[in-house]
Structure 1
């Protein structure tokens, strides 16, 4: 806010300096014009110069009203004979500067109408001056090399007004284009963030609810005959629910504004969380063999993507094939992380549950998006001998950016 106020004061000061410079130049032209001298007394040059140039210092307050005032003042001074013969265009210089500002701050239609009105007024004033005032002026003692003539005056004023309007319109177009680009980038960033959060919530909730559903089903079937297994299932459900709520709180923290009270941020899951995922899958009846080969620490974003891909793959195994046997292999070298998840399919020849298509479901889509985010590859599909195979490759550089 302070910076904006400082900029406004700086611009006002600059406009005041320009107004003073134009007033001095105009006063000099009124006293010693290139053509015949005005019949107005010499002392009147000062108030005329100040009145005509003052709109420059006021143009940022109400540009459209000041434009009308500047054009009317210049036209009145010209038709009254106070302007300098041969330098009437100088009288319309404040109008030119105000028109530029109007073109940068108002619509094309409004600024074009202002340009037309100023041109019409200026042409009328020049013609009136040369038809009624100029013939009654005393000839100049030292005639100028270029004799005063209304076509030259009108031509110079027209060029100045047109250039000022065109320059202002271009500046306004560039500002609007930049603003649209900034809005588009902001909207794209918001959309990407929403997708990322939706992907996180899907992975967290999908994995946990699948595990809870399996354990609840087991508990329901053995409630009367094996109470110990019911207690074990409820313990898994309790632990999974607590960890899921903690992760949901972490993801929802991303949606809070800076002014909202926040809980202590939980660390994002990574490679160290893979054994816990495997333990959850085992508690749901899936025999999991985990193999992790890691040469060096992964960047946090890559580690999170590896965790989520393994999480979703195990969720699919629990949901569509469990109980079964599954192998998880994570090979993280210095330049890429390779993930392989292979299950043997349902036991006893039972067909897999519906919904495990190669391209169907948000789970596979989410894993594919995470791989593509790093310029990697992803594949998933049934194996000829039975079972299902998920493979992902995430290339990266040591700094964690896309390879």
Structure 2
């Protein structure tokens, strides 16, 4: 069978240090990338712009938060504010005449600086106290965006994104916007995969497990936590800019509220803390499950099998988020990534029963 470990011999450090050591994993990755690049030719523009494009952008945002919550173990309930800073900064920079590539970097840097200011609370507090600090960031950024017309134009204003080009490719059509989102999701995934193998990644994991013990073995908690907030906020700011230019194409304050932060935390938890593939699985599940559930309830209601009020239909998505978090915490605390890993390990040694659970 092509997906077995038989015949795979790690005879050098180079082969053992590969990201995908099993040949079948590399073939599967190449197939997924090929399907991702060719998706505009395989699906309709409606599905491309309504499902695949937002899934990629939110997966990149989930990867940004995974670096902070999954690897460093630092809770963050205001990550939507970080994305909002990136979105508004990129729009103002492009309107000022800056190329889109530099606007993305500027959006990430501004988000990283603001994120570090509030992330500095992590140097003194942890747990619920850190949650309160990030909540303060969320509400403060929301207030500033709404009440400073120079940023948002007002509480009810909408900022349209200007026409831009990314690497000489105009982001006008759905294909170009999809490929831009795909490129950023791939970059974020590769970065997170590789950062786990660096000294910085090992320091993050040490901080997550026990910061006092990490300090004893030579890890600087002050520097490590600050760099974690800076890096995660930078990636979140770029994700917010990509979300604004590739998906929304217009920004309003209502797009980055506290509910969005809760959705991002749900994506990380449902997908699996610290997992790259879990970020994609969690983002897809949290985005699509409420849509599928809402369509199912509407279909049952139209057929006369279920009587549901309009008010209940509007609350089904948030009910689904809460149910997903509770279900995964009870049934599989390690998230969808662990379920995938169990299935993969089973195939690696099939038909024998020595897969790790």
Same fold (TM over 0.5): no
Q: Which has the higher contact order (CA 8 A, sep 6+)?
A: 2
TM-score, normalised to structure 2, is 0.22
Question: Larger radius of gyration, structure 1 or 2?
Answer: 1
Identify the structure with the greater strand proportion.
1
